[in-house]
Structure 1
Amino acid sequence: MTYPALFSPIKIRGLELKNRIIFPAMGTKMPNEERFVTQQLIDYHVARAEGGCGLNFTEVCSVYAPASPKKFLAISEDKYIPGLQQLTDAIHNAGGKAGIQLWLGGLAVASDPEQMIIIPSPVPVPGTEYTIPGAEIETLKAAANAFGEGARRAVQAGFDAIEFHAGHNYTPHSFLSPFFNRRTDEYGGDLQNRARFLIECISSIRQNIPDDMPLFMRIDAHDDYLEGGLSIEDVIAFCNMSKAAGVDALDVSRGNFSSAAIKYEVPPIDLPRGFNVDNADRIRRETGMITVAVGRINTPGQAEEILADGKADMVVIGRAQLADPEFCMKAQSGNSDDIVQCVACNQGCYDGFVSSEVPYITCLRNPALGRESEYKLMMTDHPKKVVVAGGGIAGLEAAMVLKRRGHQPIVCEATGALGGQFALAGEAPRKEEMKAAAISRGEQVIREGIEVRLDSPVTESLLEELKPDEVIVAIGAAPMQLNIPGSQLTKVTNSHDVLSGEAMVSGEVVIIGGGLVGLEVAEYLHGKASKITVVEMLDKVAKDLGELRSICVMESLRESGVHLLTNTKCLEINEYGVVIENKGEVSEYPCDSVVVAIGAKSRNYEGLQHFCNERQIPIHVVGDALRARRALNAVSEAHEVARMI
């Protein structure tokens, strides 16, 4: 399939782009402690430029030295120009164009306590007597000037385009939004005054860049979850002001980090694909400006439809290019079926970004993210036959890497289908893309010419027949049993059997376990059961979900009327219901069915281990077969093992 609109050129002022695809500004934690570009960041951008992307934007880049947090890029001083020049040179040499996102972070700068927080109005700090003050006018003048100085440096560093970040609760957005801006001077009050600081920043940028250099602006379509915040009509009126001040293109996003609306900034699989496109369409029609659609646009067909229908002029394809840096090239060459699909799991790109334990962002679908140079696949000098036990997402990853390195992998799957628990997880509400991605990966493995044997559990006799040089065990985990009286009753089943459709439950249902799987079973049963109750021993449910998925799942549970019992232990199951204990008080809770969702336990592979040890066949255990964890870890381990064989 071809995508003529997506891969048509576009000219914005003096900049001609070869296609309509933007790789957007996304936090990576790849800049160093002192805010400089690193080789890791260069490699990350080069991989996407080589993959055919039209325009790469840097992640947020601080313009004002007193408000420039560590571990984020900065352009607040001339010393940053050489590193940024290396980045633009590398992107250009890879056939791409480079844009820089100029940023003043507001409350987000609090990640570095040494930096100044510039906000329109005072904000009390919870749990303390301290209140963050609203910015003085002198500070605003200095910050607006800093945007211009940053733009001047960006020109020196060789950037092709600039983006002014006016969304996501950062300083400019905070001034524009009446929810945050309660000033009574010339920077507060009506829209004209609230826009004043932003227009000063835009004018400062425009005065410091060539006439033929395009200026993009990232803007929220409207405020979500902020009572009395910006309406889309406010935003359209402001965009028209920005057009007069010199903005050329609108990058229409959504979200803020002061409320549950943060889910729109890095939208998880729970949000509909293209959920913000209609907003971009309206803003485009009512401003007449070049407009970029953003928000869960992750397939070339979807992007083509948006452009062909005239709803936007360009599209942001961000996490889909994290998952597959060759996304653009594969789509343009007619090989879109070979794209490794982003599933918006947020495990590596967002959860990894906010975790203090993860050094930089990663990706469940792409273990090479952030290690682009290190993970270039090397052909083997000693091809081996490798049996991969298990056709789940980890086993398929191992097989693909082995094949591309010149080995002979044989995937043996005990069931009649590939995809494993990744495909099963796709049975939960709103996760259809996960199932589709698992099926797609299996098809890619087969197209690669890898031998796949279904309904073939790996046994000692099968290994005798195949005589492998090495074995990878990726057989996953099985649901844990609940060892209490009554757990063997016919009314009791487990989460896997419910999601796979092997077990049918109805009436009043109690789910034992309030982690990710238990909650997804609760959502799955909505409309099938008359009452759903989740019993969780811990003080809260959803502890194993990332922040943004948790927001969405909890909202869905509330809307569905699911009952949540925390700090509650299930002691016994009987014909009437379950016996539970909460704060030392024992009671009986009536139900018709019980679903056990207390976790998973690695499947037994002792026989395979013994066989391989006896014959001195190297054996590697990866993913949930080693111990039950997130899919991110399973795929990463499988990739690493396959690289080393």
Structure 2
Amino acid sequence: MKLLEPGYIGKVRLKNRVVMSAMGPGALVQLDGSLSQRGIDYYVARAKGGVGLITTGSTRVTREFERVPTSPIQSTLMVDHKNYTRWVHELAAGVHDYGAKLAVQLTAGLGRALGKADLAKVRPIGPSPLPCLLDPKTLTHELTLGEIERILDAFEAAAEVLKLAQVDIVELNCHNGYLVDQFMTPLWNQRKDDYGGDLDNRLRFLVQIVGRLKKGLGREFPVAVKYALTHYHPGGREPEEGVEIARKLEAAGVDALTIDAGCRETFYWTLPSEFQPEAINLELAALVKQAVKIPVVTVGKMGNPRLAEQALREGKADFIAMGRGLLADPDWVNKVKGGRTEDIIPCVDCFEGCHRYIHEGKAITCAVNPATGNEREFALAPAAERKSVLVIGGGPGGMEAARVAALRGHRVQLWEKEGELGGNMRPGSGPEFKEIYRRLNDYLRHQLKKHGVEVALEQEATPERVKALGPDAVVVATGSTPVIPGIAGADRANVVTANDLLTGQAQAGATVVIIGGGVVGCETALYLAQLGKKVSIVELQAAAGGDMYYINRMHMMRLLAEAEIEILTRSKVSEIAEAGVVFSDAQGERRTLPADTVVLAVGFRPTTGLLQRLEGTVDELFPIGDCLGPRKVMEAMQEGYRVARLL
């Protein structure tokens, strides 16, 4: 298998072709810029899982610019002093113990891409004085020649730290519209000196950084560059220039290239949203592969082993990099190696445990793998006492609770009142662009079967049946049902819930009005538009998609606009009449939208009846998931895992 064959970056031999791509670990970084023990455990777990090259999150080489020492959100890794040799060396030693190599990704800064909260505290830097993306009133400070020289000196000093720490490879962060990317791109670089103008001048800063690193590390030490072949943004880089950059970087002594796409304005390319296809940047990597002889790494939704292997066999890339896929399953490589691909936990591209948590100043974790970021604390141990456990409800939380309880040695039964497992994942995975949730459902079902969970479908739980079974512990995961609002006409024959529509229990006519513009309403609207329906959304709040994480929301809003879906916000529905949906718009004007079908997507109500009836009748009773209140997959699976690991 090509994926498992060794490969080289420079003279460094990697045991296979799988790379863990750089991701900020959030609050696993301590406020002084060193990596905590939890952070070391997090990276080492991926090395233990078989990954060939582990890459850290972006690491700063100087605190002179853009440093917010008291903010956990900006608490990025640091290597600006020899004192930091210790954390890097401890990480390198842990990674090396499992035969993997360590790359440290270095960054020069964020510039105009700084977060809005931090712009009030620091002065953003850049090649030119331009408006910051998230606060156009704030201009970046144009770096002077002296300041550029001090940044170059910092890279050379950092090289000494990394060399002492026995790091194997250095990668430069030159993507995502960050500082080096800004120097490389005429849209953001309007300098008139040797650092601006033609492509060679715009690459000068990067080429000089490579030179300083080689000076400090040695000419044979591998230095890689990660950059976007295209920004998918007006005025940004086009693929033709991206390929020319690859040629010039190879000539400058760069040892490998990681190819992605996008910038801060098109973040859903840099961090592909759940609405993007698999292997999203592979064809871009293939263009570079044809132009250079140094290794090319492709990144971007490469978690499907079949596609990863195919990419290597077709010569479109030399290495496969994954980020979120290895958060979901640190043992991805070992499972591929062992022929157990059905046991791989699939990443669902939700950003909830990774990017959202980092953005909120929390430690990185994963919606579908609660042990991520808690590798030592959340390690599963055999149960001290074997119990009989009943899980009521077969949604993601219930299945995860059953899986973990069975893994720990308990005797587990799962009762599901419907004829299929999955809960609200079933309608949620109805559209083709949500297919990944079908994979998660398949994974969980397989695990239940593999670990001997006794599953009973179409089994309605009652207190009497539970008492007759006599379990030691009961996990209640009875989920939630769609809210039917008290709107006149909500009982008309042409009114359906989004759940009924997405599971095929109802069909939509040619003209559809969706009441509710949250994530369910927006996804249902896109699904129907793709089927050729004319769709409108009526939303009470000031904006649609407010419950979506901003990267997915950014992409969803673009897709809805491209599909010509009308979105009416600050609008309150008063009646569903024969003529259509009657509502008051943002100006208070009473209007009617004609509709063949009206779809209700106004939230979910917890199913609490059984829980209330069981309270006081079972010694160990654990409610999880939607029965406690509306949950996303992340909360449901986290609660299921946490309860089951302590049973």
> TM-score when scaled to structure 2?
0.95
Checking the alignment, whether the CA contact within 8 Å between 2:124 and 2:139 is kept in structure 1 is no
Decide which of 7, 10, 13 is 1:13's aligned counterpart: 10
Structure 1 spans left out of the alignment, 5+ residues: none
Deviation per residue, 1:115-138 (Å, 9 max, x gap): 553311002358786532211011
In structure 2, how many angstroms separate the alpha carbons of the residues matched to 1:112 and 1:445?
49
Counterpart residue number, 1:132:
140
Decide which of 239, 248, 252 is 1:241's aligned counterpart: 248
In structure 2, how many angstroms separate the alpha carbons of the residues matched to 1:609 and 1:469?
18
Please, what is the CA RMSD of the aligned residues?
1.7
In structure 2, how many angstroms separate the alpha carbons of the residues matched to 1:315 and 1:585?
55
Letter in 2 for 1:594: V
- State the SS of the aligned residue for 2:424: helix
Counterpart residue number, 1:217:
225
Deviation per residue, 1:147-168 (Å, 9 max, x gap): 1221221111110111112211
Checking the alignment, whether the CA contact within 8 Å between 1:581 and 1:587 is kept in structure 2 is yes
Counterpart residue number, 2:46:
48
Q: Does 1:351 align with 2:356?
A: yes
Counterpart residue number, 2:80:
76
Decide which of 396, 399, 402 is 2:402's aligned counterpart: 399
Residue 527 of structure 1 deviates from its aligned partner by 4.9
Counterpart residue number, 1:254:
261
Q: Could you say if the C-alpha distance between residues 297 and 451 of structure 1 is closer, same or farther in structure 2, counting changes exceeding 3 Å?
A: same
Counterpart residue number, 1:491:
494
Most deviating of 537-546 and 109-118: 109-118
Q: Could you say if the C-alpha distance between residues 85 and 127 of structure 1 is closer, same or farther in structure 2, counting changes exceeding 3 Å?
A: closer
Checking the alignment, whether the CA contact within 8 Å between 2:123 and 2:141 is kept in structure 1 is no
In structure 2, how many angstroms separate the alpha carbons of the residues matched to 1:109 and 1:146?
20
Q: Could you say if the C-alpha distance between residues 115 and 561 of structure 1 is closer, same or farther in structure 2, counting changes exceeding 3 Å?
A: closer
- State the SS of the aligned residue for 1:87: helix
Deviation per residue, 1:438-489 (Å, 9 max, x gap): 1221122111211111111222233133211111011110000110211111
Letter in 1 for 2:621: I
Deviation per residue, 1:411-451 (Å, 9 max, x gap): 11111111221232111241111112212211221112111
Counterpart residue number, 2:517:
514
Checking the alignment, whether the CA contact within 8 Å between 2:381 and 2:408 is kept in structure 1 is yes
Structure 1 segment 546-561 matched on structure 2, within 5 A: 546-561=549-564
Decide which of 422, 425, 428 is 2:425's aligned counterpart: 422
In structure 2, how many angstroms separate the alpha carbons of the residues matched to 1:512 and 1:599?
10
Deviation per residue, 1:258-312 (Å, 9 max, x gap): x1x1112221221110111011011011122210011110121111010011100
Q: Could you say if the C-alpha distance between residues 612 and 334 of structure 1 is closer, same or farther in structure 2, counting changes exceeding 3 Å?
A: same
Checking the alignment, whether the CA contact within 8 Å between 1:109 and 1:116 is kept in structure 2 is no
In structure 1, how many angstroms separate the alpha carbons of the residues matched to 2:190 and 2:10?
37
In structure 2, how many angstroms separate the alpha carbons of the residues matched to 1:452 and 1:518?
32
Structure 1 segment 89-104 matched on structure 2, within 5 A: 89-104=93-108
Letter in 2 for 1:243: E
- State the SS of the aligned residue for 1:198: helix
In structure 2, how many angstroms separate the alpha carbons of the residues matched to 1:575 and 1:236?
58
Q: Could you say if the C-alpha distance between residues 627 and 46 of structure 1 is closer, same or farther in structure 2, counting changes exceeding 3 Å?
A: same
- State the SS of the aligned residue for 2:582: strand
Checking the alignment, whether the CA contact within 8 Å between 1:101 and 1:165 is kept in structure 2 is yes
Letter in 2 for 1:77: H
Structure 1 segment 592-611 matched on structure 2, within 5 A: 592-606=596-610, 608-611=611-614
Q: Could you say if the C-alpha distance between residues 130 and 214 of structure 1 is closer, same or farther in structure 2, counting changes exceeding 3 Å?
A: closer
Structure 1 segment 300-315 matched on structure 2, within 5 A: 300-315=305-320
Letter in 2 for 1:352: Y
Residue 114 of structure 1 deviates from its aligned partner by 5.4
Q: Does 1:165 align with 2:173?
A: yes
Q: Does 1:317 align with 2:322?
A: yes
Letter in 2 for 1:232: P
Checking the alignment, whether the CA contact within 8 Å between 2:50 and 2:333 is kept in structure 1 is yes
In structure 1, how many angstroms separate the alpha carbons of the residues matched to 2:136 and 2:555?
30
In structure 2, how many angstroms separate the alpha carbons of the residues matched to 1:277 and 1:611?
53
Checking the alignment, whether the CA contact within 8 Å between 1:572 and 1:580 is kept in structure 2 is yes
- State the SS of the aligned residue for 2:84: helix
Q: Could you say if the C-alpha distance between residues 13 and 530 of structure 1 is closer, same or farther in structure 2, counting changes exceeding 3 Å?
A: closer
In structure 1, how many angstroms separate the alpha carbons of the residues matched to 2:526 and 2:11?
51
- State the SS of the aligned residue for 2:2: coil
Counterpart residue number, 1:632:
634
Q: Does 1:473 align with 2:476?
A: yes
Structure 1 segment 115-130 matched on structure 2, within 5 A: 115=122, 117-124=124-131
Checking the alignment, whether the CA contact within 8 Å between 1:512 and 1:534 is kept in structure 2 is yes
Decide which of 189, 199, 223 is 2:207's aligned counterpart: 199
Counterpart residue number, 1:535:
538
Decide which of 584, 588, 612 is 1:584's aligned counterpart: 588
Counterpart residue number, 2:185:
177
Deviation per residue, 1:573-616 (Å, 9 max, x gap): 1222122112332233322221110000011334x5434523x4
Residue 145 of structure 1 deviates from its aligned partner by 2.2
Letter in 2 for 1:406: G
In structure 1, how many angstroms separate the alpha carbons of the residues matched to 2:314 and 2:137?
53
Checking the alignment, whether the CA contact within 8 Å between 1:179 and 1:229 is kept in structure 2 is yes
In structure 2, how many angstroms separate the alpha carbons of the residues matched to 1:46 and 1:202?
28
In structure 1, how many angstroms separate the alpha carbons of the residues matched to 2:7 and 2:510?
57
Q: Could you say if the C-alpha distance between residues 130 and 506 of structure 1 is closer, same or farther in structure 2, counting changes exceeding 3 Å?
A: closer
Q: Could you say if the C-alpha distance between residues 91 and 284 of structure 1 is closer, same or farther in structure 2, counting changes exceeding 3 Å?
A: same
Q: Does 1:388 align with 2:391?
A: yes
Q: Does 1:187 align with 2:191?
A: no
Deviation per residue, 1:40-73 (Å, 9 max, x gap): 1101001101101101011000012312634100
Q: Does 1:544 align with 2:534?
A: no
Deviation per residue, 1:606-639 (Å, 9 max, x gap): 4x5434523x432111010110121111111111
Most deviating of 104-113 and 22-31: 104-113
In structure 1, how many angstroms separate the alpha carbons of the residues matched to 2:283 and 2:501?
36
Residue 529 of structure 1 deviates from its aligned partner by 5.9
Q: Could you say if the C-alpha distance between residues 527 and 340 of structure 1 is closer, same or farther in structure 2, counting changes exceeding 3 Å?
A: closer
Residue 100 of structure 1 deviates from its aligned partner by 0.4
Counterpart residue number, 2:342:
337
Counterpart residue number, 2:575:
572
In structure 2, how many angstroms separate the alpha carbons of the residues matched to 1:596 and 1:252?
42
In structure 1, how many angstroms separate the alpha carbons of the residues matched to 2:487 and 2:375?
49
Checking the alignment, whether the CA contact within 8 Å between 2:128 and 2:191 is kept in structure 1 is yes
Residue 338 of structure 1 deviates from its aligned partner by 0.6
Decide which of 285, 288, 295 is 1:290's aligned counterpart: 295
Counterpart residue number, 1:619:
621
State how many pairs are aligned.
635
Decide which of 239, 251, 269 is 1:264's aligned counterpart: 269
In structure 2, how many angstroms separate the alpha carbons of the residues matched to 1:127 and 1:231?
26
Deviation per residue, 1:193-214 (Å, 9 max, x gap): 1111111111111111134422
Residue 509 of structure 1 deviates from its aligned partner by 1.4
Checking the alignment, whether the CA contact within 8 Å between 2:403 and 2:444 is kept in structure 1 is no
Structure 2 spans left out of the alignment, 5+ residues: 70-74
